[in-house]
């Protein structure tokens, strides 16, 4: 019954102001970009190295078959995703856990 006895704007003085400084925003952006780089680097590095090796092989043998460059890169990136999958998953899980656990800290002024 206590809820119905109050006036609609009675608790307006109890509202806290939400502060999110530029430092906090830049920290969130930096952490997000580092997570993206850490997760994307292994498959990209494997694809790049296989592409260079296939290009050198094509230049030495004078074989200019487009599928010869495409298929090994796809297979290498797929295998690298399987091999580095646990690392990528743990990195993303850690980032999202840190992000979600920092929400109260981001909303309360210090």
Count of domains forming the chain? 1
Give a yes or no: residue 5 inside a domain: no
Choice between 44 and 110, residue whose per-residue pLDDT is larger? 44
Give a yes or no: residue 62 inside a domain: yes
Give a yes or no: residue 12 inside a domain: no
Rg (CA), the chain: 26
Range of the domain at 41: 20-104
Question: Mean pLDDT score of the chain, rounded to an integer?
Answer: 84
Per-residue confidence (pLDDT) for residue 3, from 0 to 100: 47
CB-CB contact of 68 with 53 (8 Å): no
Give a yes or no: residue 81 inside a domain: yes
What is the tens place of the pLDDT at every residue in 7-47? 555 555 555 555 677 888 899 999 999 999 999 999 999 99
Per-residue confidence (pLDDT) for residue 2, from 0 to 100: 52
DSSP helix/strand/coil, 10: coil
């Amino acid at each position: 019954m206590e809820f119905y006895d109050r006036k609609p704007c009675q608790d307006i003085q109890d509202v806290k102001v939400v502060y999110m400084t530029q430092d906090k925003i830049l920290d969130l952006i930096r952490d997000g970009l580092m997570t993206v780089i850490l997760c994307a680097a292994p498959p990209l590095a494997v694809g790049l190295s296989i592409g260079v090796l296939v290009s050198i092989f094509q230049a030495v043998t004078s074989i200019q078959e487009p599928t010869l460059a495409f298929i090994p890169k796809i297979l290498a990136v797929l295998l690298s995703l399987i091999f580095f999958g646990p690392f990528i998953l743990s990195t993303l899980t850690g980032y999202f856990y840190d992000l979600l656990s920092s929400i109260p800290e981001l909303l309360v002024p210090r």
